[in-house]
Amino acid sequence: MPESGGAISSPRLSKLILVRCSHIVRPGQDTSSFHSYERHLEYVPSVIRLISTLCPDLMTFHFSVSRRFYPELSRHEVVTVATSFQHTEELNLLDKDFGPFLLKDLSTAVINHITTLNLLPSYSTTILKSDIPLRKILCTFKHLVHLRAPRAAYFVDEMDLHDVQEQLRDHWNPKPRRSSHRMDRLNPRIPSDDPVAARQYVWACRGLRTLHMGVTCRDSDAELEELSLIIFGFLSRMCPRLRDLQLRMWNTTLTLSGGLSLLTRLQDLERVVIAMDYYPMMKEGNLFWLSSTPPSILDRLGYPLLRRKALQKHRKRFRLLPPAKVTTAESKLVERGQELGIDLSKIGYPEDLMEWMKEYYKPSSSSSSSFSSSTLPLPKLRTFWIEYPGSRRDGIVEKLHEFVTKIRPEVDIRLCKIPQDVYFTSTVKCL
């Protein structure tokens, strides 16, 4: 940085990355080290304020302390980073620095000018963090366009807008739920009688384009098909402009009955990476909807059978639910969705998947052998990866890979193994 008036400054600098800092050196002064907790508290705020003075036009700023020294940024220090730079649109923090109570300290002004939030993993591990207030971030930052938080956990019950899991649990297995008390304490459930619950469930950042996060479940006895139908149905409605989706999923399935095909509602989607903790039990029929060729006459004749198969497990569990509980037309969430122009009435129910199938198999008004640009499933898709730990099912994977490559040759499709200790093979390089 050039010197100006005896002080080091760089007023035109727009991006500054300081990773794993352990000390600072100032001309004519002794080295200031962060070796102890006391030194950390003494020097870190002053460093941040000094940078904000010398580089007032920073658009992107990242500051993290070396992980050899335990101290993480305090709430006050994180707020100092967020508020010291008036023009900053991108906020980069380590995920361990973004605690559950931080949002209370951030001003509305800060929330309104941040468009990119990167919560970077502080350690390379597959374990998801349950103490990052991911739902509150997505329901608060109105102008957020890019969110990369690969180790942050979003709970499925916070996507379950109509308490479908609760209804099924009460009907089929009326036992006390088994969940982590630590999870409930750090990231408490939304009370069902909360008057503003609708706004706490519905995301504020409807223009979100990048989303990297983990998805987990508080309850260990949930059905995979029902969990997946909730997850993909929710995402397909909440962020219609999404381009880059990376999910770390623990308890889910990628079968047709799990609703993965609902992602085709996201017409701008360019990249999909789903990392799983186990081998996905998939067959060729699970990904037929990626094809650039519309259903043939024979496919349409077989549609009723395919529909019955997709409904098989759902019908058994849903059919005995009281009709009053399945009806959601009067719910506040549905009304909130109508205000935003989105249909939230079917999320989590088998009707959501049946609606998609009906649309996909509707008779074509054209004799064309391919979809039009407006109806092609995921027309902008360029990357589709499913990552999973090592498995002996190599033959099945190769056969599935060949099938998908054939129906969508222009897409980089990979069904690949990952070591247990790697989070994403496509590591997020935000900085």
Q: Which of the four pLDDT bands, split at 50, 70 and 90, describes residue 2?
A: very low
Q: What is the per-residue pLDDT across 344-381, written as a single tens digit (0 to 9) for each?
A: 888 888 889 888 988 888 765 554 566 655 567 899 99
Distance from C-alpha of 107 to C-alpha of 201, rounded to nearest angstrom: 21
Pair of tokens at residue 386: 């499913």
Which residue in 134, 220, 130, 236 sits closest to 179, CA to CA? 220
The better pLDDT of the pair 177, 219 is held by 219
pLDDT at 426 over 50: no
Per-residue DSSP letters for 344-382? -TTTTSHHHHHHHHHHHTSPPSS--SS--TTTSSSTT--
Are 149 and 123 in contact by the 8 Å Cβ rule? The answer is: no
Q: Which of the four pLDDT bands, split at 50, 70 and 90, describes residue 6?
A: very low
- The mean pLDDT value for 260-283 works out to 87
Q: Which of the four pLDDT bands, split at 50, 70 and 90, describes residue 239?
A: very high
Are 406 and 287 in contact by the 8 Å Cβ rule? The answer is: no
Q: What is the per-residue pLDDT across 147-162, written as a single tens digit (0 to 9) for each?
A: 999 989 999 988 988 8
Distance from C-alpha of 110 to C-alpha of 97, rounded to nearest angstrom: 17
Instruction: Please give the distance of CA 269 from its chain centroid, rounded to a whole number.
Output: 14
- The mean pLDDT value for 232-249 works out to 94
Model's pTM, two decimal places? Answer: 0.83
Q: Which of the four pLDDT bands, split at 50, 70 and 90, describes residue 185?
A: low
pLDDT of residue 300: 83
Q: Three-state SS for 7?
A: strand
Distances (CA, A) of 385 to 235, 250, 363, 400: 18, 16, 31, 12
Instruction: Please give the distance of CA 420 from its chain centroid, rounded to a whole number.
Output: 21
Distance from C-alpha of 173 to C-alpha of 175, rounded to nearest angstrom: 6
Q: What is the per-residue pLDDT across 377-424, written as a single tens digit (0 to 9) for each?
A: 899 999 999 888 765 556 777 787 888 888 888 888 887 776 544 443
Distance from C-alpha of 273 to C-alpha of 319, rounded to nearest angstrom: 34
Bridge partners, 119 (sequence order): 93
pLDDT of residue 326: 45
- The mean pLDDT value for 238-246 works out to 96
Bridge partners, 118 (sequence order): 92, 148
Angle made by CA atoms 360, 364, 370, in degrees to the nearest 5: 80
Bridge partners, 63 (sequence order): 18
Per-residue DSSP letters for 30-62? PPEE--SHHHHHHHHHHHHHHHHHH-TT-SEEE
- The mean pLDDT value for 191-203 works out to 68
Distance from C-alpha of 52 to C-alpha of 84, rounded to nearest angstrom: 6
Q: Is 341 exposed, middle or buried (0-12, 13-18, 19+ CB in 10 A)?
A: exposed
pLDDT of residue 196: 62
Q: What is the per-residue pLDDT across 26-41, written as a single tens digit (0 to 9) for each?
A: 555 555 555 555 555 5
The better pLDDT of the pair 71, 290 is held by 290
pLDDT at 74 over 80: no
